[in-house]
Amino acid sequence: LLSNSLYHITLFTFFLALAHFLSEVFIYRTAALTIGVMAPLMVSSFSIMGMLIGLQYLEVEALSQNKKKN
């Protein structure tokens, strides 16, 4: 249960970081689309994709743990 919560919080922070940098570039226009901004955008995007793939594994693992308990 604790690892599930930590996983979801970490995933949420990557979404938050992505939203922050996207808003700085496209909404507020306070940052130019340079390598300094592109790097966090790529890191957060790839991390979100990887964590969403991992989330599927985590859910399957939780189901198999519940079957073992019963």
Q: What is the pLDDT along the chain (70 residues), one digit of tens a residue?
A: 678 899 999 999 999 999 999 999 999 999 999 999 999 999 999 999 999 999 998 888 878 887 887 7
Full residue range of the structural domain in which residue 30 is found: 1-69
> How many angstroms separate the Cα of 26 from the Cα of each of 29, 36, 38?
6, 15, 13
Of 20, 23, 17, whose CA–CA distance to 43 is shortest? 17
Predicted confidence at residue 1, as pLDDT, reads 65
Predicted confidence at residue 66, as pLDDT, reads 79
Could you tell me the pTM of the whole model?
Answer: 0.84
Q: End-to-end CA distance of the chain: give it in Å, rounded.
A: 17
Report the distance separating Cα 44 and Cα 22, nearest Å: 11
Predicted confidence at residue 52, as pLDDT, reads 96
Number of domains in the chain: 1
Predicted confidence at residue 39, as pLDDT, reads 97
